[in-house]
């Protein structure tokens, strides 16, 4: 009986160890400009997340974290733009392409608001 119980528990223990090994690694930090702090995420984390905010006349604040979900590219995360990715330490640096997507998103949103005020 004990041997059968051990045979049933061993695969569960090994599965738990595999899930720890497969946990996503992301940078988790808050800083002015770009920040780096590699962290092992919870094994249920699916994304690495970058959010950033540049108050008028100030430097850009960056928040990097592990995330369970990813906001759509056109959606703001709270009051800040966000981008996410799904590979280890992929939120290491804000890329030019994400900056361009952000710029285009803001221009599109601004044009949409302006056109709605005009009544078009």
Q: What's the predicted TM-score (pTM) here?
A: 0.56
In tens digits, what is the pLDDT along the chain, a chain of 120 residues? 455 544 544 444 344 444 445 799 999 999 987 789 999 999 999 999 998 888 889 888 899 999 999 877 555 555 678 889 999 999 987 654 444 455 556 666 666 776 777 877
Phi-psi region of 118 (alpha: psi -120 to 50; beta: other; left: phi over 0): alpha
Does a structural domain hold residue 105?
yes
Query: CB–CB of 106/82 below 8 Å?
Result: no
Instruction: State the Cα–Cα distance between residues 75 and 82, nearest whole angstrom.
Output: 8
* Cα 16 off chain centre by: 24
Does a structural domain hold residue 88?
yes
Does a structural domain hold residue 29?
yes
Q: Which residue has the tokens 């599965």?
A: 15
Taking alpha carbons only, the member of 94, 24, 57 closest to residue 81 is: 94
- CATH number, domain of 32, equals 2.10.60.10
């Amino acid at each position: 009986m004990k041997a059968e119980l051990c045979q049933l528990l061993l695969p569960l223990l090994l599965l738990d160890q595999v899930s720890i090994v497969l946990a996503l690694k992301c940078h988790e930090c808050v800083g002015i400009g770009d920040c780096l702090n590699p962290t092992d995420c919870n094994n249920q984390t699916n994304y690495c997340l970058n959010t950033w905010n540049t108050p008028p006349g100030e430097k850009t604040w960056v928040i990097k974290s592990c995330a369970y979900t990813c906001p759509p590219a056109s959606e703001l995360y709270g009051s800040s733009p966000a981008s996410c990715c799904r590979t280890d330490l992929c939120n290491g640096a804000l890329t030019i392409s994400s900056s361009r997507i952000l710029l285009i998103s803001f221009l599109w949103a601004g044009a949409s608001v302006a056109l709605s005020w005009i009544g078009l």
